[in-house]
Amino acid sequence: MAKFVYKSIFSFMATSEYADTPEQFLKLTKECSERAQKMNTPSSFSSPPKVNSELCKHLADKLKSAVERAQSFLHIRFLLYGGTPKYVDAFKLFYGLANMAVEVIRSCCQEEWIQAAFLMTNVAKHILSTSFDLEMLTHFFSGCWTSSKVLENIFKAELAIVNKKASQDRESLVEDLNALLQRRENVSTETYRLASLLLERLDPQRQNLGGSSSGAYSVDMESLKEMEQLGKGSFATVFKAMWLGVEVAKKTFYAPSSPDFEQEVSILARLSHPNIVSFLSYAEGKRECCMVMELMDHDLCGLMRKIMAKDKHRSSPFSMLEAVDLMLQVGRGIEYLHEMRIVHRGLKAMNILVKQVKGKDGRSWYIWAKVAEFGMSKTKERSVTYSNQTLNTGTTRWMAPEMMKESVNEGQEQVSNVGMTAKYPFGGDVCSFAMVCYEILTGDVPFYDIAQHNEVKKKVLKGDRPGLPKDCPTSLERLIRRCWSQDASARPRFDEICVELRNVKCQLLRSVPIAINWFMLPYLSLVCFLPSGSVLYPLFYYLLKYVSRSSWSCLVYDSRQPKVSLVYHAT
CA distance 264 to 342: 11
* CB neighbours of residue 87 within 10 Å: 24
In contact, 109 and 49? CB cutoff 8 Å = yes
CA distance 227 to 204: 33
Structure letter (DSSP) for residue 185:
T
| Residue among 120, 135, 99 at smallest CA distance from 52 | 120
DSSP H or E stretch at residue 369: strand 364-371
CA distance 274 to 132: 14
Q: Tell me how long the chain is.
A: 571
Query: Does residue 50 have a known ligand-binding role?
Result: no
Rounded alpha-carbon distances, angstroms, from residue 519 to 78, 86, 170, 307, 405: 12, 20, 56, 41, 66
Please enumerate in sequence order all residues whose Cβ is within 8 A of that of 92, keeping only pairs 6 or more positions apart, or say none: 20, 25, 319, 321, 322, 365
Taking each helix axis as running N to C, give the angle between helix 88-109 and helix 53-81, from 0 to 180 degrees, rounded to the nearest 10: 160
CA distance 348 to 332: 15
For Cα atoms 369, 370, 376, give the angle at the middle one, nearest 5 degrees: 140
Pairing of β 289-294 and β 279-284 = antiparallel
Strand ranges, E, within 423-570: 526-530, 553-557, 564-569
Helix, coil or strand: residue 250? strand
CA distance 499 to 496: 5
Please enumerate in sequence order all residues whose Cβ is within 8 A of that of 536, keeping only pairs 6 or more positions apart, or say none: 530
In contact, 339 and 377? CB cutoff 8 Å = no
Q: Which residues sit in the known binding site for ATP?
A: 251
Annotated binding site: 251
